[in-house]
Structure 1
Amino acid sequence: MLCAATLGFFAWQSFYPVSAASGWQVQVVHRDVPKAASLLPQPDGSLLVSQELDRGMGSIVRIRPDGTREVVVANLSKPDGMIPTHGGWVFSQESGGLPVSFYKDGVVTELFKGESVQGLWDEGDDLYAIEDRNPTGRLMRYRWSDQSLTVLRDQVNEGESIIRCTDGRLLYNEKKRGVVRELTDDGSDPVILSNLNQPTFLMCDERGLWVNEDSTHRARLLLIDKQGRQQTILSFLKAPQSIVPTGRGSYLLAEGGRNRVLELTPE
């Protein structure tokens, strides 16, 4: 009886519908996207999605506005982060010893190797990358101009995301410790958010700082506004990954635990 009740509880957590906060609506826009991780909307209305499968089974696919799909890059191992830059886009693979690569005009070029690289952030000549390792993950900076790679931090505990916010701060997370830190020149890296449940993807915009929780059950999408107030925007998510603006006032969110992409729209 106890076993049946336990199984029923976990089934309930898996299938309980996602709940949106007052003032927001959520809907499924793409199903059957295995281990959906990073999202990259394209100017033609299509969507690039990294499918975070391991052992060469992962890929980056393009979902066209009519719903048809094509594989853009195949035979990857846990492809995760994606960021547009230099007329193409960079992607990472969250497996040991695999490269961070640049895709442009159908050509993939290796930039540098890492150990379980996940989050990426690019600004001009600087490309930042962070490793999801415990406890010796690195936060690195790659320079496009001379192809140099500099390790900025080497004791990051399961870092998954790095992002520049609208106020100029460069933020990164440590999933294992449940915190978000600010990368500072003096190396102090103060904690700006704590007591989070496995924070994964970070995103900043005019509304504030968005934080996804990489929890298998009852994960949340949080929004911390510019006054520091925290609000739960989505509840009962399952291993959510990236969130990106669509350019039309809504957001797309990869819910890897349910193999789908959601659209979040303010009412």
Structure 2
Amino acid sequence: MTESSRRSALRIALLAVATLVTAAVAFFLWQDFYPVQAANGWTVQVIERDVKKAASIVPLPDGGMLVTQELKNDQGNILRITPDGERKVVIDGLSKPDGMIATRGGWVFSQEADGKPVQMLKDGKLTTLFEGNSVQGLWDDGDYLYAIEDRHDDGRLLRYRWSDGNLTVLRDRLEESESITRCTDGRLLYTQKTHGTIRQLTDDGRDPEVLGGLNQPTFIMCDARGIWISEDSTHRARLLLWDGKGEPNTVLSFLKAPQAIVADGKGSYLLAEGGRNRLLRLTPAQK
């Protein structure tokens, strides 16, 4: 091969590499910025931006909301957003604050870090309920508070009794279980993210699979429409709704690491899209 031929081949190779790199960068940028798509019968809008690693949402009676900013190493916090958009940090210095629910006139929240407590904020007073390791999902049924740990192979499902503070380990050796909720039919369900499944907590300990074949299910919520499921995927994640028949329906697509979804009490839903640091409102079409 002549020197001229070698140079020509090198130029072609470099051009091919540059083309591949450009295409790859363009693809990832497309995934990051492609707008969220709503299914027929639904509309979606961005209601808050710059909410860092938004994870959980609790709507407030005055029309505002509490949101967790799930940052690591004591950089996380719970943020209060008023109806007119003003922001105030309610609790600071948290490590990956994740789960949060309203109960007993206050708010209970968890931190997805080892050795961090599940705590309750009520009337400006912070109370430690119990210790956990990487607690994520929370659910309260009045008599008991349920909590689930997001760990590899050694996560636990815990039950805290409000009357006397007794803490019971209902399940152990769970793998990446991130959410727990009770449905309108009474079933208590939890996710196993790695396995792509939702399971039902049963008295006999068998915990049958309710739904499988999911892509990194993180947060679940039940209401009259069915089971809402967020996929904790970095790119092209979805918000699914399953009515118990056939395959789940995709309500939102092209999300980035969506987390909690909650009803806003006005007929719509609020969704924390942690991967894009924002909050979305999902509204059904008027009939």
The residue that corresponds to 1:56 in the other structure is 74
The structure 1 residue matched to 2:213, chosen from 181, 190, 195, is 195
The residue that corresponds to 1:148 in the other structure is 166
The answer on whether the counterparts of 1:207 and 1:226 sit within 8 Å (CA) in structure 2 is no
CA distance in 2, matches of 1:169, 1:213: 21
Q: Cα distance, 1:227 vs. partner?
A: 3.5
The residue that corresponds to 2:15 in the other structure is none
The answer on whether the counterparts of 1:58 and 1:75 sit within 8 Å (CA) in structure 2 is yes
Give the SS at the match of 1:6: helix
CA distance in 1, matches of 2:245, 2:195: 24
1:25-104 equivalences in 2 (<5 Å) = 25-104=43-122
CA distance in 1, matches of 2:32, 2:192: 25
Q: Cα distance, 1:228 vs. partner?
A: 4.7
**TM-score (ref. length: structure 1):** 0.99
CA distance in 2, matches of 1:17, 1:100: 36
The answer on whether the counterparts of 1:81 and 1:120 sit within 8 Å (CA) in structure 2 is yes
Aligned CA distance change for structure 1 residues 185 and 228 (closer, same or farther; 3 Å): farther
The residue that corresponds to 2:284 in the other structure is 266
> Which is helix-richer, 1 or 2?
2
1:98-177 equivalences in 2 (<5 Å) = 98-177=116-195
The answer on whether the counterparts of 1:18 and 1:236 sit within 8 Å (CA) in structure 2 is yes
CA distance in 1, matches of 2:77, 2:217: 24
CA distance in 2, matches of 1:53, 1:197: 24
CA distance in 2, matches of 1:24, 1:179: 26
- Over alpha carbons, which structure has the higher Rg? 2
Question: What fraction of aligned residue pairs are identical, expressed as a percent?
Answer: 67
The structure 2 residue matched to 1:250, chosen from 263, 268, 286, is 268
Q: Report the more deviating stretch, 181-190 or 6-15.
A: 6-15
Q: Report the more deviating stretch, 253-262 or 146-155.
A: 146-155
1:3-18 equivalences in 2 (<5 Å) = 3-18=21-36
The structure 1 residue matched to 2:242, chosen from 208, 211, 224, is 224
Deviation per CA, 1:226-251, whole angstroms, max 9, x where unpaired?
Answer: 44552000000000000000111100
Q: Which amino acid aligns with 2:30?
A: W
The residue that corresponds to 1:206 in the other structure is 224
* Structure 1 runs of 4+ with >6 Å offset: none
CA distance in 1, matches of 2:120, 2:90: 13
Gaps of 5+ in 1: none
CA distance in 1, matches of 2:284, 2:66: 23
CA distance in 2, matches of 1:186, 1:83: 28
* Residue 21, structure 1, aligned to residue 69, structure 2: no
The answer on whether the counterparts of 1:40 and 1:244 sit within 8 Å (CA) in structure 2 is yes
RMSD of equivalent CA atoms: 0.8
The answer on whether the counterparts of 1:138 and 1:152 sit within 8 Å (CA) in structure 2 is yes
The residue that corresponds to 2:5 in the other structure is none
The answer on whether the counterparts of 1:244 and 1:253 sit within 8 Å (CA) in structure 2 is yes
CA distance in 1, matches of 2:279, 2:98: 15
Q: Report the more deviating stretch, 173-182 or 219-228.
A: 219-228
Q: Cα distance, 1:84 vs. partner?
A: 1.1
Gaps of 5+ in 2: 1-17
> Which is strand-richer, 1 or 2?
1
Deviation per CA, 1:88-112, whole angstroms, max 9, x where unpaired?
Answer: 0100000011000011011111111
The residue that corresponds to 1:239 in the other structure is 257
**TM-score (ref. length: structure 2):** 0.92
